[in-house]
Amino acid sequence: MDGFAELIERKRQGSLKIYLGYAAGVGKTYAMLQEGLRLKGQEVDVVIGYLEQHDRPDTQALAEGLESLPRLVWRVGDAVFQEMDVDAIIARAPQVALVDELAHTNADGCRHAKRYEDVLEILERGINVITTINVQHLESVAARVEEATGIAVRERIPDTVLRRADQVVNVDVTKEELRERLRQGKIYAPQQAERALSAFFTYENLSFLRELCLREASGDQVRKIEAQELLRPALAGYAVEAVMVAISSAPTDAEALIRRGVRMANQLGSPCYVVYVRRPQESPTRIDAGLQRRLQHNLQLATSLGAEVVQLEGADVAETLVNFASERNVRHAIFGKSRLSPLRERLRGSFLLDFLYEAVGVDVHVANVTPKHVDE
């Protein structure tokens, strides 16, 4: 689908606005409800599709001023869950639906596994959606958050959902104010709050998460400017610094490389390309089935993170990558460290060294994620 056809198709769908925060309690839901009330005051038809109140009086007070659709009661064995009723929202057909906690996982057996999939269906029906999410739930940063904080991030959404948004608003408060809200019981119950202050809500963790959130929001702004063609063509080439991640058919470190590339692109507000060059000896009929499965897994991961997957063919890998980098304005190229020993690499040659020699104006990043050398 070309650019204009895609624009026409998007106009048929609803607009998506995301309130993005760096932790629970920064005020995402409150801000969403405030906007809902402002829109209602402007005679816009607004309903609450799903709201997680968390027993917060201020949130409940705002919600009382808006129509709230009934929830779907869903039974799984003896357990009873309340989920968003997608069909009720579509049947009601409001101009705007407010949907809290975009990364929520639905109960087993629901039409969609994740709430973001519910939202995408609602958007397809031409209904606008305003929603909320914390930055750690983005697939591209979840693993990094787990590593930095030691706390598992189980609910995740593809970065493509954030890219789909027409507007992303960063809801920000200082770390001190957030911790004070926690102490006052405005976020969690007292006993839970005390545990949170010494675990997830430490100054170090909050500083890290806040920086991630600010970068994601600023990167989104750059992407929206480019999409709206507000940059003059003469300046666009300088503003967009595309990132390219090169992976091979035996990609032991591909997942780490892809995540690193997507993070860099998000920080720059630039596109990320995950590029695989298939050599003649790597045709689907000749490549090992196990390697083929791993390769496809990594390409699917790249797509879910919001990268554009590009599969090229060429006998000379370096030349193929250099030509692609030139065509797509790539300014940052990420490669994995060679699995060969330095001696073997000198004797057999290296497409990375060839790329370094041939590529002009490209910063090359060699990621040391496979420290052991393997002689092949």
CA distance 213 to 20: 7
Mean pLDDT across the chain: 83
> In which band, very low, low, confident or very high, does the pLDDT at 239 lie, cut at 50, 70 and 90?
very low
The candidate with the shortest Cα–Cα distance to 120, out of 160, 169, 81, is 160
Give the domain extent around 81. Answer: 3-227
Please report whether residue 372 resides in a domain.
no
pLDDT of residue 105: 95
> CB pairs under 8 A, 24+ apart, for 297-303?
298/247, 298/251, 298/254, 298/255, 298/258, 298/274, 299/274, 301/255, 301/258, 302/245, 302/258, 302/262, 302/274, 303/158, 303/160
For residue 69, is it within any domain? yes
Distance between CA 145 and CA 6 in Å, rounded? 34
CATH number for position 92: 3.40.50.300
In this prediction, residue 122 has a pLDDT band, given cuts at 50, 70 and 90, of very high
Query: Residue 339 — very low, low, confident or very high, per pLDDT cuts 50/70/90?
Result: low
Looking at the structure, tell me whether residues 214 and 262 fall in a common domain. no
> Is 113 found in the same domain as 52?
yes
Strands 72-76 and 79-83: antiparallel
> Is residue 232 one of the residues assigned to a domain?
no
Q: Indicate whether 54 and 155 sit together in one domain.
A: yes
Indicate if 148 and 277 belong to the same structural domain: no
365 vs 133 pLDDT, higher one: 133
| Domain final residue pick, 227, 259, 278 | 227
Distance between CA 130 and CA 291 in Å, rounded?
42
Same domain, yes or no: 201 and 86: yes
Place of tokens 């029906």: 125
pLDDT at 293 over 90: no
Per residue in 193-211, pLDDT (tens digit) is 878 888 888 989 999 898 8
Indicate the residue type of 25.
G
Q: Is pLDDT of 284 > 70?
A: no
Q: Are residues 259 and 305 located together in one domain of the fold?
A: yes
- For the ranges 46-50, 259-263, 332-336, 371-375, the lowest mean pLDDT is seen at 371-375
Tell me how many domains the chain contains: 2
| Whether residues 255 and 192 fall in one domain | no
Give the pLDDT confidence of 16-48 residue by residue, as tens digits. Answer: 999 999 999 999 999 999 999 999 999 999 999
CATH no. for residue 331?
3.40.50.620
Q: Are 69 and 202 in a shared domain?
A: yes
In the chain, what percentage of residues exceed pLDDT 70?
Answer: 83
Is residue 184 over pLDDT 60?
Answer: yes
| pLDDT tens-digit series, residues 42-101 | 999 999 999 987 778 888 999 999 999 999 998 888 889 999 999 999 999 999 999 999
Check whether residue 188 and residue 261 sit in a common domain: no
pLDDT at 341 over 80: no
Last residue of a domain, one of 227, 261, 286: 227
Residue 71 lies in a domain: yes
Averaged pLDDT, 162-179: 88
100, 204: one domain: yes
Which among 151, 142, 136, 140 is positioned nearest to 101, based on CA atoms? 136
- 315 and 347 within one domain: yes
CA distance 97 to 57: 22
Euclidean distance between CA atoms 213 and 134, whole angstroms: 8
**Residue 373 placed within a domain:** no
Same domain (yes/no): 145, 250: no
